[in-house]
């Protein structure tokens, strides 16, 4: 892991995102997943940028961002500011903490609409991102407090033995805030047809 982390630090410092995403092919999953569960291809990133531009997204806020490597890749390729939220945890404050590649905010308890807006540094024209998220009740809380129009959910195409909740293609929205969400785009993360990026847009009120 130390070798991979060193390469990631060097490549992100030089803003070489193409070499960053290529490292996924050079190391086993047991190492790459420590920095990101999803390593998007260049084609995936191009399509996602088009979808975000179409929906007038001005920034991205990632919930449960981990190291923030995926978020760094998104910022480098879309040109959009990307920030992250993690639970307050001594892991991220310790000397053993993995490298953090983006600005990270910490939260205790449930989120509020104002807190999300402050973290994203915009009002409601930011997309909310969940990558390999695994806490449906927390997901519902964030969606309820989010007043923007675009959700991005990244994870396995279907239930393949990896626990994520929600699944990108079956998030089972609870519509707590009286809105429905429509699936606008499904993008293969890579050519293995395993992980997908699902983009949802807020639609009519119920």
* pLDDT tens track for 45-73: 999 999 999 999 999 999 998 889 999 99
CATH topology for 39-205?
A: Rossmann fold (3.40.50)
Q: Provide the H-helix boundaries in 23-135.
A: 29-32, 42-54, 69-78, 90-93, 113-120
* Mean pLDDT of the region 141-166: 87
Please state the domain extents for the chain: 39-205
Stated pTM of the model: 0.92
Residue 123: pLDDT band (50, 70, 90) is confident
The two structure tokens encoding residue 161: 């033995």
Whether residue 132 is predicted with pLDDT greater than 80 in this model: the reply is: yes
Whether residue 169 is predicted with pLDDT greater than 70 in this model: the reply is: yes
* Mean pLDDT of the region 131-151: 92
Higher per-residue confidence, 192 vs 137: 137
């Amino acid at each position: 892991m130390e070798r991979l982390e060193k390469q990631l630090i060097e490549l992100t410092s030089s803003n070489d995102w193409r070499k960053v995403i290529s490292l996924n092919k050079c190391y086993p999953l047991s190492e790459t997943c420590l920095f990101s569960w999803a390593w998007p291809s260049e084609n995936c990133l191009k399509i996602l940028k088009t979808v975000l531009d179409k929906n007038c997204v001005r920034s991205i806020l990632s919930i449960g961002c981990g190291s923030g490597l995926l978020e760094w890749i998104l910022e480098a390729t879309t040109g959009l500011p990307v920030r992250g939220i993690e639970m307050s945890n001594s892991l991220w404050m310790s000397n053993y903490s993995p490298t953090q590649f983006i600005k990270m905010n910490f939260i205790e308890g449930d989120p509020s609409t104002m807190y999300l807006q402050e973290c994203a540094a915009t009002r409601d024209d930011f997309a909310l991102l969940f990558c390999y998220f695994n806490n449906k009740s927390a997901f519902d809380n964030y969606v309820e407090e989010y007043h923007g129009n675009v959700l991005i959910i990244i994870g396995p195409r279907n239930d393949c033995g990896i626990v994520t909740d929600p699944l990108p293609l079956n998030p089972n929205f609870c519509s707590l805030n009286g809105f429905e969400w429509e699936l606008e785009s499904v993008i293969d993360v890579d050519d293995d047809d395993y992980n997908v990026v699902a983009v949802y847009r807020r639609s009519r009120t119920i």
